[in-house]
Amino acid sequence: MVDLHDSAFLKAARGEAVPHTPVWFMRQAGRSLPEYLKVREGVAMLDACADPDLIVEITLQPVRRYGVDAAIFFSDIVLPLKAVGVDLDIVPGVGPVVAEPVRTLADVEAIPDLTPDRIPFITAAVQGLVGELASVNGGTPLIGFAGAPFTVASYLVEGGPSKEHAKTKALMFSAPEVWDALMRKIAGISAAFLRTQVAAGASAIQLFDSWAGALTPADYVRYVQPHSARVLAEMAELGVPRIHFGVGTANLLDVMGEAGADVVGVDWRTPLDRAIGVVGDRGVQGNLDPTLVFAPTEVMTARAAEVIEAGRAAKSHIFNLGHGVIPSTDPDQLARLTEFVQAYPLA
């Protein structure tokens, strides 16, 4: 078995000195890759996320093509809900749609807990990936994936994607006992999903809180942070580095870090040097604007250099985009960006 302990990504995630700035891309597994579109042809998203062979192939594709420093497990934020029996589907052009949104305590209690026997395909996929990744680029670590409680709760309460999260906040403010039960339920599901991945060989985890930016710091601390903290604390017990990322979270970076992250992901809206000043004694991840890959290469790399230079002030820095890869991205540009970041001098 290849020892990944000294990989650039894991060293950075632990806050240690690195041979080069490690780089990977959120949503690198799919979307923009022609080889991904080919294997996904005619296969529904959630079906792809439950097929070990497809999970392995799709997760490996960007690692082979770009030589990034980490693989991100191919899955979807609502897959654990589907696995426990929630009636939902991912509608093309819309996103996850829940047939019967959560409104009451009885609705929460009707959601089963997630146990390993419900997701044997996750164990099989991670084990297969770890074996394959051991021989790619001298050994590449796998990042486990899960949605954070607030974001998953928002899908359940709203019944689908939302810009305002009005129903979610209404439940949070008007029925705190239902909200607390729902968040406890989802925290348990997210932790179980990540624990299964780590047990099968994932080397680190990232907890995605895509919609947390809709909250004020006070509401985040009161209604959300304890539940994200529970998930991250369970991962700490497993001894893996923890990355916590949210979108539009400039006002939450300090309290998201305090939830238990080793590394705080920063979206492109917040200058990295400003973020470093508020995350505390933690690493940062990010944060090139995803649209810069559509600019001329020299413009893209010049802005990437600015991100890397800003990252020097942090405890550690993992280069990434400030959000996911846009589907129309030219894969060759991401290859150039990867090469640029990995070759950029550390001193």
Catalytic residue set = 27, 31, 40, 76, 155
Q: Which two tokens stand for residue 45?
A: 């998203």
Q: What is the 3-state secondary structure (H, E, C) of the chain?
A: CCCCCCCHHHHHHCCCCCCCCCECCCCCCCCCCHHHHHHHCCCCHHHHCCCHHHHHHHHHHHHHHHCCCCEECCCCCCHHHHHCCCCEEEECCCEEEECCCCCCHHHHHCCCCCCHHHCHHHHHHHHHHHHHHCCCCCCCCEEEEEECHHHHHHHHHHCCCCCCCHHHHHHHHHCHHHHHHHHHHHHHHHHHHHHHHHHHCCCEEEEEECCHHHCCHHHHHHHCHHHHHHHHHHHHHHCCCEEEEECCCCCCHHHHHHCCCCEEECCCCCCHHHHHCCCCCCEEEEEECHHHHHCCHHHHHHHHHHHHHHHCCCCCEEEEECCCCCCCCCHHHHHHHHHHHHHCCCC
Crossing angle for the helix pair 149-158 and 176-200, to the nearest 10 degrees: 120
Give the distance between the most distant pair of CA atoms in the chain. 58
Spatial CB neighbours of 221, under 8 Å, sequence gap ≥ 6:
255
